[in-house]
Amino acid sequence: MRLLLPLFIGVVAWGCRPPANLPKAVPIDFASTGGPSTFSAEATLLERWDGGVLERRWTRGELGHFQGVDGLALRYSVHRASPSRGAVVLVPGRTEAMMKWAEVIDDLVANGYSAYALDVRGQGASDRMLPNRDKGYVRAFDDYVTDLATFVRTVVRKDEPRNVFVLAHSMGGAIATLFLDEHPDLVTAVVLSSPMLEIHTGGFPAPVASSLGLTACSMGDGTDYAIGYGDFTEETDFAKSSVTSSQPRWAWKVGLYRDHPSIRLGGVTWRWLCEALNASSRATTLGRFATVPTLLLQAGADTVVKPGSQDRYCTESPSCQKSVFPNAKHELLNETDAIRNDALSQVLKFFAAKGNP
């Protein structure tokens, strides 16, 4: 029943809660809006980062931790621009460590935005919850949401930025959507990159996957790997990459996890799957209540998450604008230059348009 209870609570709440009832926001014409359009290049990526830029970026940044739900130590890094146009809170996808955002952080800082990167519970350098560090596990998806609120309140807003923006990818998109529903007053605007509002469950239709997960979780503690998942294995074949078409960026990511084994993460457990399916389902329904200006970036060749629930969320939200990148795979900000430059340009133009001067 634990999986179904939040859904029941949500249905009851919707009956008492009026939608935002705001006029649909006028979409930004990014093509005719001035702003940056060219960023770091994939052709020189390995040379730049292997030459020590990664280490210098983290040396310059402020590394710290705060206490999350159940006392877990959650790691973060802050990279300040001076002067700063605002704070950008980076909320990662599943398996992503904040170090993987180094190239994005560099581009943000170069364009006048301070970056606040977070390793969510159970991944990156943050505390893990199971003896096997490779297992992707969370006790409750809402713990991610509570942790993010704590991070924004105690770390990000402590610097008194003129704007607080959120840039969230995949699983981070589901976390951010739930967070914004609870704390719309904490954020100026948000960009959701390939948000996990509907997980692609492969050969299992979503209801079947949910049923399997519910059964597995109800019979035990949900700490076993879900069917088809196991410990971390290094990627060896770029042609099989489902998340990027950029060979240099794929190679850089593989090297990052090879050189930093402590930040690796393997497959998902049944508990994570139960919680993620439930959370993404809840997040999809929140568009009608959304008031925070939102840009949703959709990858047209995504095989990790499905577009249907993204479409529903953005259509129902008066504050959401959607941009589709037809040839992009899941990791838009880790894609080829042509796709990445366009996506990142839209991110910065959106922040500039929605932020306080």
Q: Are 226 and 269 in contact (CB under 8 A)?
A: yes
Task: Identify the residue whose tokens are 């390995």.
Answer: 46
- Confirm whether 213 is domain-assigned: yes
pLDDT tens digits, 75-117: 999 999 999 999 999 999 999 999 999 999 999 999 999 999 9
Specify the CATH number for the domain of residue 272: 3.40.50.1820
Residue 109 to residue 40: CA distance in whole angstroms = 12
Note down the domain range covering 263. Answer: 57-354
Q: Which phi and psi angles does 193 have, rounded to 5°?
A: -100, 115
Number of domains in the chain: 1
- What pLDDT is stored for residue 180 in this prediction? 97
- Confirm whether 92 is domain-assigned: yes
pLDDT tens digits, 130-145: 999 999 999 999 999 9
pTM of the model: 0.93
- Confirm whether 181 is domain-assigned: yes
- Confirm whether 86 is domain-assigned: yes
- Confirm whether 98 is domain-assigned: yes
Query: Which residues neighbour 287 within 8 Å (Cβ) at sequence distance 6 or greater?
Result: 312, 313, 314, 315, 316, 317, 320
Residue 147 to residue 143: CA distance in whole angstroms = 6
Q: According to the 3-state scheme, what is the secondary structure of the chain?
A: CCCCHHHHHHHHHHHHCCCCCCCCCCCCCHHHCCCCCCCCCHHHHHHHHHHHHHHHHHHHCEEEEEECHHHCEEEEEEECCCCCCCEEEEECCCCCCHHHHHHHHHHHHHCCCEEEEECCCCCCCCCCCCCCCCCECCCCHHHHHHHHHHHHHHHHHHHCCCCEEEEEECHHHHHHHHHHHHCHHHCCEEEEECCCCCECCCCCCHHHHHHHHHHHHHHCCCCCECCCCCCCCCCCCHHHCCCCCCHHHHHHHHHHHHHCHHHCCCCEEHHHHHHHHHHHHHHHCCHHHCCCCEEEEEECCCCCECCHHHHHHHHHCCCEEEEEECCCCCCHHHCCHHHHHHHHHHHHHHHHHHCCC
- What pLDDT is stored for residue 217 in this prediction? 65
- What pLDDT is stored for residue 297 in this prediction? 98
- What pLDDT is stored for residue 240 in this prediction? 96
CA distances from 325 to 132, 193, 297 (A): 37, 11, 8
- Report which residue type is found at 94: R
- Confirm whether 202 is domain-assigned: yes
Residue 85 to residue 164: CA distance in whole angstroms = 9
- What pLDDT is stored for residue 357 in this prediction? 78
Query: Which residues neighbour 314 within 8 Å (Cβ) at sequence distance 6 or greater?
Result: 287, 294, 296, 320, 321, 322
Q: Are 176 and 292 in contact (CB under 8 A)?
A: no
- Confirm whether 187 is domain-assigned: yes
- Confirm whether 14 is domain-assigned: no
Residue-by-residue pLDDT tens, the chain, 357 positions: 333 334 433 444 445 688 988 899 999 999 999 999 999 999 988 888 776 666 767 677 899 999 999 999 999 999 999 999 999 999 999 999 999 999 999 999 999 999 999 999 999 999 999 999 999 999 999 999 999 999 999 999 999 999 999 999 999 999 999 999 999 999 999 999 999 999 886 666 666 666 665 676 666 788 999 888 999 999 999 999 999 999 999 999 999 999 999 999 999 998 998 899 889 989 999 999 999 999 999 999 999 999 999 999 999 999 999 999 999 999 999 999 999 999 999 999 999 999 987
